[in-house]
Amino acid sequence: GPTRSSLVWKDADTIVETSYAAGSDGKETVAMEIVRKRGAKATATAVAESIAPCVLWIDEIEKGFAAASEGGASSRVFGAFLTWLSEKQAPVFVVATANDVTRLPPGLLRRGRFDDLFFVDLPTHAERVEILAIHLRGRSRDPLQFDLEELATQAARLSGSELEQVVRHIMTQQYVALE
């Protein structure tokens, strides 16, 4: 299922009235042509610019740029991305998600790199109960047959997508128990 961060970028696509870089409105053909012509040298930024206006979503950006401070290829890629972010002319709306902002290079968080930064916290107890219920109903299970209050308490540090995995695990365990 979609995580909060993926829902945010999909909403951004609607807000800026454009297509997203993963390809919609037939623009994925243009993106695939760039990758075919440039091969491994094709970059996400080049693809995004070719199908602009679009939203470029970078999920878990800290994983891609964590090694930037160590020098080498990661540092060069990071530098090129920062330059592109500052100088881009194409209407590319960049949305990035991060699970651990402490791992991001400081240069990325400087004012002006991104228009705004948002913090989305883990779900509250009540939200965890509702998320569990949604995923149980989505699997044709009656949430009232489960102690969602207790499950939500035990799952205090889990994200929405992790709660979905809990429900999947429960369903698997129930299936195995029936055999």
Q: Which has the higher per-residue pLDDT, 160 or 18? A: 160
Q: Convert the pLDDT of each residue in 49-77 to its tens digit.
A: 888 888 888 888 888 776 666 666 667 77
CA 123 – CA 156 distance, rounded (Å): 8
For residue 166, the model assigns a pLDDT of: 92
Output the pTM of the full model.
0.59
Contacts of 20 (CB under 8 A, 6+ apart): 9, 10, 13, 54, 55, 56, 57
Q: Convert the pLDDT of each residue in 24-33 to its tens digit.
A: 444 444 444 4
Cβ atoms of residues 92 and 49 within 8 Å: yes
User: Quick one: average pLDDT of 81-94?
Assistant: 87
